[in-house]
Amino acid sequence: MNQTRTVVILAAGEGKRMRSALPKVLHPMLGRPMLGHVLTAAGPLGAAATLVVVGHGADQVAGYVTAAVPDARTVLQPDPNGTGQAVRLALEAVPDVTGTVVVVNGDAPLLRPATLRALVEAHEAAGVAATTMSANAADPYGLGRIVRDQAGDLSRVVEERDATPREAAIREINAGVYAFDAATLRDALGKLSTDNAQGEEYLTEVFALLVGAGRRVAVHLVDDAEEALGCNDRAQLADLCARLRDRVNGELMRSGVTMVDPATTWVDVTVTVEPDATVEPNTQLRGSTTVGSGALVGPDTTLTDVVVGEGAQVVRTHGSESWIGPGASVGPYAFLRPGTVLAEEGKIGTFVETKNARIGRATKVPHLSYVGDATIGEYANIGAGTIFANYDGLRKNHSTVGDAAFVGSDSVLIAPVRIGDGAYVAAGSAISKDVEPGVLAVTRVPQRGVAGWVARKRPGTRSAEAAARATEGDAAADGQ
């Protein structure tokens, strides 16, 4: 059945128990704020209008909505006085709306798109005045209860604070997700009162009004009570994050990803991991990160907005806004800062930091180096302890190292400087001038020795004693 649909998301609550300057619905959960997960669940409904009711932190919430879903509109509830008032204000913003109105709480991040779509389709197929989603909860404390009539339809929804002991014993809970006939809903909202424990306009009172008028209200029971869970404090937030982590990890493993310890692996919902990739324990994959088939990531690795190519290995590494080519190797204990591009079969090794660096195919930066604002060609080797000195106190300067060049250990390349193809830099050199292709550049001071210095300047020390023994031994050997 084709009907016009309007989505209303309730996101005006202050969330006092979160004890946070950040509005509750903007607290992050695996790559999206809570509200973002709800917007994603509602997206496939194809609504003609999506309205987000904002109140506490209205500017912050509205800013997120505009950036995330530009077609959505925000409606201000300046003095929140219940969910009924919030929906009434939303419908006043679209006075000509018809068809189905879907109402969802903004703090229900575990709601699946398929579940929401099934609710709406069942409502429209049944042709009822309203449909509410329900679930059977092991512990229904603090949640509204579903009271059914003899036919199995809804009789009323009772908030726990208003429930009798018998009603409080009911385990079927109100999931806070509803579908209404628009005209029927608009009429009922105009009849709400504040005669309840909170002195607010409860949206759930609409059901009692509809039933009292002889209209049918259906109940759509979902199998997974987890989808009905909301969030009121940081402990619940952590619980929801863990549940979402398990859901994401389960889907990835069923798709062919090896996950050694799912309990310590956190993957944002915005991340892509291809089949036959392996994710080791204590790994976090965030943002727009993608991991190619056959790649190994972890253990103890955090990647944000990083592309990991097929067959690459990234071990004990922290990286962001970087690209790691197929068959490349990174870590352990590497730090990839934004702008790092490591071509196929390249290596960034132990205790190496890179930033705004393009490192060519099969080039190796094995250990203890800093590569910043640099371009390195193919098949080059950067020795241990090499520093690309890119900052002169005023600006960042760029260095270039050519194909198959060799930079010896403990060298400093003082930018801007160019090392030509096939050139060598001798270990311990400080290079401030361009090196032509095939040239060996050496800037070391010639080594000299001061004979007898230890005996004169450090008499009586272990060093002096050891030197004396060695000298006597050498003299004895020469006398033979």
Q: Which positions are annotated as active-site residues?
A: 367
Residue 398's closest CA among 380, 416, 386?
Answer: 416
| Strand 154-158 to 145-148 pairing | antiparallel
Q: For residue 344, is it left (φ>0), alpha (ψ between -120 and 50) or beta?
A: beta
CA distance 279 to 315: 10
The answer to whether 256 and 291 have CB atoms below 8 angstroms apart is no
CA distance 155 to 143: 17
CA distance 25 to 62: 11
Report how far apart, in Å, the C-alpha atoms of 60 and of each of 54, 63, 231 are. 9, 5, 19
Is the N-terminal amide bond of 326 cis, ω within 30° of 0? no
The answer to whether 467 and 454 have CB atoms below 8 angstroms apart is yes
Helix (H), strand (E) at residue 319: strand 317-324
